[in-house]
Copies of this chain bind each other. A is one copy, B any other.
Amino acid sequence: MKQKSEKPDVKALIITAAEEEFLSVGYAGARMMNIAKNAGVTHAMLHYYFRSKDNLFEVIFKEKAGAFFGNFTPILESDCSFLEKIPRLIKAHLDFVTKNPRMPLFLLYETSKNPGLIRDTLSGNKHNPIAIFYQLFEKETKKAIRKKEIKKIDPLELMLTIFSLNIFPLLAQPLITNVGILPDNTFRQLMKRRSQEVSKFIIAGLKNT
């Protein structure tokens, strides 16, 4: 009945179940017993491998924050022009959040409720993926400005605009579709059309005069 080398790797099972729980109901709503049940183990195992709820959450949070920003540095490092990089960045970012629709709200909410968390786990870290991404983004933007490829703009403002337009509609989706403004499938169509509009919009705002 038993498979050959199929040992379950309990730690990985717990992490997977914890990701699901924390992303779906947040830290405060998450239940250790729920995670244990979904991982198929006793909840004592969670404490055996991860000591406490706080600690388990920190592991998941760090992992997710890294995954979110780490994805986009390769695009900024590629050797095409800035005006080519931006649409690729926008598309990659939108694809990512579409495939991981709960991650933005998770990161924003938990950071807002517990700012100390991100300070302790990421800030000061030499490999802080968020800072790495932003510093690269800032460098590339300033270079493009120097080369007169784009007009003068604050890099942080540009990044905020891109993230705003990509992420916010996703955050608002439950509100919009449940309030009776429009049906669910119509919203998805709108989102698809929108992805191209956003690129056009941003590029237009970057062109010199």
Q: Could you tell me which A residues sit within 8 Å of B by CB distance?
A: 25-26, 28-29, 105, 107-109, 111-113, 115, 118-119, 122-124, 128, 130-131, 134, 154, 156-157, 160-161, 163-165, 167-169, 171-172, 174-176, 178-182, 190, 193-194, 197, 201, 204-205
Chain B residue numbers with a CB within 8 Å of A180 are: 123-124, 128, 131
A161 partner residues in chain B, CB cutoff 8 A: 165
Instruction: Check A105 against B109 for contact (C-beta < 8 Å).
Output: yes
Tell me which of A111, A167, A178 has the highest count of chain B C-beta atoms within 10 A of its own C-beta.
Answer: A178
**What DSSP secondary structure best describes chain A's contact surface?**
helix
Query: CA A122 – CA B174 in complex, angstroms?
Result: 13
B residues in contact with A123, CB < 8 Å: 178-180
Number of copies: 2
Q: Which residues of the partner chain B approach A128 to less than 8 Å between Cβ atoms?
A: 179-180
Shortest CB–CB separation between residue A185 and chain B, in angstroms? 14
A66: min CB distance to chain B, Å: 12
Q: 25 A-B residue contacts at CB 8 Å?
A: A26-B28, A26-B109, A29-B113, A105-B108, A105-B109, A105-B112, A107-B175, A108-B172, A108-B175, A109-B109, A111-B174, A112-B171, A112-B175, A122-B179, A124-B180, A130-B181, A131-B180, A131-B181, A134-B179, A154-B190, A157-B190, A160-B194, A163-B168, A164-B168, A201-B205
